[in-house]
A = this chain, B = another copy of it.
């Protein structure tokens, strides 16, 4: 039985970790860390957990936690994990960091986009980017996993086969992404009140969203090793969960539907959690809600020689907690899909 500690257990991603791990037959949560709610019943913060979780919230003492847990999930704001981690901790335990601290290899890039000094640059090199479908083998050997961002997971998985196989002009990539509101977190802000979000849609962080360099770096590895430069525009959608990515790129040669389909099948045909949809079917977030699946598909536009790529997933599952558990499974030598096979819940 894998002993698991969660720091940041009362955020939406932290709570989703709890939901998933309660159904994981080889894992047990031993630490519900939440600085804001120390000593309060976890089930009083998330009442869905009434009678299911009988524990109080703890602090974020990662040194102590590292002695008790085989794996620590840090579902915390940027900077916290980097400020707490040290060699001793990493020799005691494994860390799956759901924040951005170890996702970007170039410290300057991280510090510029996040406007934050990195407190543990010495661990960036060894950290493995935890996109399981792409870095599976490296993840298995890692001590420190940088769990990918929600937008990035969906963007990268949607575009990866096309970039990897050099079917598109990477200078023309535009990612227009739409997210449910849980992605904005559980902080009490006027902008996230029900009446402010409901019945509206908006773009935000236009040209400046922090997931941009992460997508650029990872797609760059798939291409020629150096980061791409793309446009990424996130939008806030009045729904709880779900991310939809609609991406555009110029095709570099004449290819048929079958050609591209073959490329997607090449990379995802054996992947449990990436579903390449049938011809003509557009991904919709409702079909993946509550699950670890990413649904992807594409349409070729013969008029403009562009390909329109779409991906849909649950931002809290494959975009956060589900992928984190998938990483945990890989690190701990468990079946990759353990605890993650719940079907999407609809409606």
Residues of A within 8 A of B (CB): 12, 15, 18-19, 22-23, 46-52, 172, 174, 176, 178, 180-182, 186, 188-190, 192-204, 206-207, 229-231, 233, 235, 237-242, 244, 246, 248, 275, 277, 281-291, 295, 299-301, 303-304, 306, 308, 310, 312, 341-347
A196/B347 contact (C-beta < 8 A), A201-B242, A239-B201, A342-B23 known = yes
Are A240 and B199 within 8 A (Cβ)?
A: yes
A148 smallest CB distance to B (angstroms)? 21
A45 smallest CB distance to B (angstroms)? 10
User: Which of A19, A180, A195 has the largest number of chain B CB atoms within 10 A?
Assistant: A195
Distance of A198 Cα from B22 Cα, bound (Å): 24
Partner of A198, one of B200, B239, B283, B341: B239
B residues less than 8 Å from A12 (CB atoms): 195, 347
Distance of A22 Cα from B345 Cα, bound (Å): 12
Are A199 and B308 within 8 A (Cβ)?
A: no
User: Which of A48, A174, A207 has the largest number of chain B CB atoms within 10 A?
Assistant: A48
Are B229 and A343 within 8 A (Cβ)?
A: no
B residues less than 8 Å from A288 (CB atoms): 48
B residues less than 8 Å from A237 (CB atoms): 178, 201, 237-238
Distance of A188 Cα from B347 Cα, bound (Å): 15
Distance of A342 Cα from B181 Cα, bound (Å): 23
Copy total for this chain: 4
Are B235 and A238 within 8 A (Cβ)?
A: no
User: Which of A15, A194, A230, A281 has the largest number of chain B CB atoms within 10 A?
Assistant: A194
B residues less than 8 Å from A295 (CB atoms): 47, 50
Closest to A46 in B: B346
A186/B176 contact (C-beta < 8 A), A202-B283, A233-B308 known = no
User: Which of A199, A283, A343 has the largest number of chain B CB atoms within 10 A?
Assistant: A199
A303/B343 contact (C-beta < 8 A), A189-B188, A200-B285 known = no
Distance of A196 Cα from B287 Cα, bound (Å): 10
Are A51 and B275 within 8 A (Cβ)?
A: yes
The 4 lowest CB-CB distance pairs between A and B, nearest first, are: A200-B286, A48-B344, A195-B347, A202-B284
Are A299 and B207 within 8 A (Cβ)?
A: yes
Partner of A19, one of B15, B190, B345: B345
A21 smallest CB distance to B (angstroms)? 10
A9 smallest CB distance to B (angstroms)? 14
A48/B287 contact (C-beta < 8 A), A188-B190, A231-B301, A301-B231 known = yes
B residues less than 8 Å from A287 (CB atoms): 47-48, 50, 200
B residues less than 8 Å from A310 (CB atoms): 203, 206
